[in-house]
Amino acid sequence: MRPDAACRALLGCLCLALYCLSAAFRFSSDTHEWKKLIMVQHWPETVCEEIKNDCRDPPNYWTIHGLWPDKSEECNRSWPFNLEEIKDLLPEMKTYWPDLIHPSPNRSRFWKHEWEKHGTCAAQVDVLNSQKKYFGKSLALYQKLDLNSVLLKLGIKPSINYYHVRDFEDALTRVYGVIPKIQCLPPRQGEDAQTVGQIELCLTKEDQQLRNCSEPEELLPPTREAWLARAAQSRGLRVCEDGPVFYPPPKKSKR
Comparing 14-23, 44-53, 119-128, 245-254, which segment has the lowest mean pLDDT?
Answer: 14-23
Q: Over 80: is that where the pLDDT of 177 sits?
A: yes
Comparing 14-23, 119-128, 238-247, which segment has the lowest mean pLDDT?
Answer: 14-23
Active site residue 102: no
- What would the mean pLDDT of 189-193 be, rounded to a whole number? 83
Domain boundaries, the chain: 37-214+236-246
Q: Over 60: is that where the pLDDT of 255 sits?
A: no
What residue type is 137 in one-letter code?
K
Cβ count near 200 (within 10 Å): 19
Q: Over 70: is that where the pLDDT of 162 sits?
A: yes
Which among 42, 118, 169, 200 is annotated as catalytic?
Answer: 118
Q: Over 70: is that where the pLDDT of 156 sits?
A: yes
CA distance 230 to 238: 9
Encode 68-82: b = buried (16+ Cβ within 10 Å), e = exposed. Answer: bbeebeebeeeeebe
Q: Over 60: is that where the pLDDT of 151 sits?
A: yes
The more confident residue out of 103 and 153 is: 153
Encode 95-112: b = buried (16+ Cβ within 10 Å), e = exposed. Answer: ebbbbbbeeeeebbebbb
Q: Over 90: is that where the pLDDT of 3 sits?
A: no
Radius of gyration of the chain (CA): 23
Which among 49, 65, 116, 200 is annotated as catalytic?
Answer: 65
Tell me the average pLDDT of the chain.
84
Decide if 133 contacts 127 (C-beta within 8 A): yes
pLDDT grade for 29, boundaries at 50, 70 and 90: very low
Q: How many residues are there in the chain?
A: 255
Check residue 51 and give its pLDDT.
76
Active site residue 116: no
Q: What is the pLDDT of residues 210-247, one digit of tens each?
A: 999 985 544 445 444 444 444 444 458 999 999 999 99
Check residue 87 and give its pLDDT.
96
CA distance 69 to 77: 16
Q: Over 90: is that where the pLDDT of 41 sits?
A: yes
Q: Over 80: is that where the pLDDT of 40 sits?
A: yes
Cα–Cα distances in angstroms (integers) from residue 205 to residues 21, 126, 231, in the given order: 29, 11, 32
CA distance 207 to 193: 38
Check residue 188 and give its pLDDT.
82
Check residue 165 and give its pLDDT.
97
- What would the mean pLDDT of 23-49 be, rounded to a whole number? 77
Check residue 214 and give its pLDDT.
84
Which among 50, 114, 169, 241 is annotated as catalytic?
Answer: 114
Q: Over 90: is that where the pLDDT of 155 sits?
A: yes
SS3 250: coil
What percentage of the chain reaches a pLDDT higher than 90? 65
CA distance 185 to 166: 16
Active site residue 50: no
Domain at 37-214+236-246, CATH from 3.90.79.10, 3.60.150.10, 3.40.50.620, 3.90.730.10: 3.90.730.10
Q: What is the pLDDT of residues 47-76, one digit of tens each?
A: 998 877 667 788 999 999 999 999 889 999
